[in-house]
Structure 1
């Protein structure tokens, strides 16, 4: 515990410079950095993640994933070893898997890892795209890549991803559209602002250098980001001076009242449209009568 905290404090204290912006809107997009560091990424961070307890936290959280699983910002697939798979003789909890990452190079590393684990399994989707954009539904089964368009995911996973996207709130709102209402879960393992001001000063001072090197901004206010997303917090844990976060989130079930209000508004709009259409028809008919009706001749002929 002490060794882990000491290691983490050392990591934070490196490359401290001028303060960096904390708002995602003011932070530079550094996500392209991942394509250039994909091949060496695992080797570079393996030791740091082990000694700071991130590896252990990954294992613990990923074990909770089940059903149709979507992992966004999958990177080099550092979580693949920890899923309870239901593929090729494994009778686990994860029956389908969809992987999304903006970096094609990082995603290819993850793909190679999975192929070595489960050669011949084709029912896994590997998608190169921004996770804030619409994401296809889960594969129908382990032997078919085609997605089930109307289906939602049981579990969505993201580890160390909110730090590297342009608009983390938009990303979470998009994930909310992909997960099952009420019963589905979004699991996040992230790093961001801590509970102590001196830690946050270190984070702010080193954020620009860290972002340039690793493609992520580690001084974001994650609690505020989650709050703005509209997702409901089921459970939240923090450690390492509050800078590491684990969230279990869910999409609140749409209440009957809200549904009824939406339906009523839609019906009212429809009625208004019908009235407008009827009035337009009446005017058109009057105009057509004037055009088609021959002018009456006056006088004697």
Structure 2
């Protein structure tokens, strides 16, 4: 497990955060070229997606699924729901889902206000998404809410590098990157997850510390564990 240099990153969205509508418009413009670069995405990130998402089970929610980049790495046995704010992205995701043997649907939805009841999914996954949410804490809290107790929340994120010169470049260019792409590329993903109170089972960093793989549990699990610890042994 790598470690990030904490406290150095500043939120480039602090002074001019993008709205959900801003992000929807941005992705409408870039959906086609994102799909055309799918081959590069697979080469660069495929092994990490396969490692993190390859054994998911049951009913699975892919938050901010985009063009469905995660779909080929999921077991064919899952019941998949993919959501995204961009109808253009979802059109490609829908086509991709039809080509695979995965049973599922895609829906247009705001990750910060998921239209699902509590405890709806066995596993919630998301990739390279928290950097673009206007309110990433709200989105993570929604993932927590809809994940069943005993389930898993799996996040493949990017953020501030472990390598000093790379991290300094990310910090220096963070405002320009956010203005052009709506991406906080010097965020600290693990710190963000911990700030929401999600119990982290495992985390690791890769590719100069830029990519972070996180396996977390719903926050209600930690409460259940605490209660069980204080119960008398009834066996």
TM over 0.5, yes or no?
A: yes
1:34 to 19, 27, 39: 27
Structure 1 residues 256 and 226, CA gap change in structure 2 (3 angstroms): closer
Tell me how many residue pairs correspond in the alignment. Answer: 214
- Aligned residue for 2:187, secondary structure, equals coil
Supply the distance in 2 between the matched residues of 1:231 and 1:57 (Cα, whole angstroms).
Answer: 21
1:127 matched residue in structure 2: 107
Contact 2:126-2:154 within 8 A present in 1 as well: yes
- Aligned residue for 2:31, secondary structure, equals helix
1:168 matched residue in structure 2: 136
2:45 matched residue in structure 1: 54
Supply the distance in 2 between the matched residues of 1:161 and 1:186 (Cα, whole angstroms).
Answer: 13
1:124-183: CA deviation from partner (whole Å, max 9, x where unpaired): 3322121110332xxxxxxxxxxxx565211111000011101111111111111111x2
Supply the distance in 1 between the matched residues of 2:226 and 2:42 (Cα, whole angstroms).
Answer: 46
The unaligned stretches of length 5 or more in structure 1 are 1-19, 87-93, 137-148, 259-301
2:233 matched residue in structure 1: none
1:111 matched residue in structure 2: 94
- Aligned residue for 2:80, secondary structure, equals strand
Supply the distance in 2 between the matched residues of 1:232 and 1:200 (Cα, whole angstroms).
Answer: 27
Contact 2:160-2:187 within 8 A present in 1 as well: yes
Supply the distance in 2 between the matched residues of 1:135 and 1:106 (Cα, whole angstroms).
Answer: 19
Supply the distance in 2 between the matched residues of 1:150 and 1:165 (Cα, whole angstroms).
Answer: 21
* TM score, norm. by length of structure 1: 0.64
Q: What's the C-alpha RMSD, in Å, of the aligned pairs?
A: 2.5
- Give the 5 Å matches for 1:87-106: 94=78, 96-106=79-89
Deviation of the 1:218 alpha carbon: 1.0
- Give the 5 Å matches for 1:59-208: 59-86=50-77, 94=78, 96-118=79-101, 124-136=104-116, 149=117, 151-181=119-149, 183-208=150-175
Deviation of the 1:54 alpha carbon: 1.2
* TM score, norm. by length of structure 2: 0.81
1:235 matched residue in structure 2: 202
Contact 1:34-1:214 within 8 A present in 2 as well: no
Supply the distance in 1 between the matched residues of 2:59 and 2:177 (Cα, whole angstroms).
Answer: 34
- Aligned residue for 2:59, secondary structure, equals strand
Deviation of the 1:24 alpha carbon: 4.5
Deviation of the 1:256 alpha carbon: 8.5
Are 1:223 and 2:223 counterparts? Answer: no
Supply the distance in 2 between the matched residues of 1:83 and 1:48 (Cα, whole angstroms).
Answer: 16
- Aligned residue for 2:191, secondary structure, equals helix
Structure 1 residues 45 and 113, CA gap change in structure 2 (3 angstroms): closer
Q: Which of the pair has the greater relative contact order for Cα pairs under 8 Å at 6+ separation?
A: 2
- Aligned residue for 2:23, secondary structure, equals coil
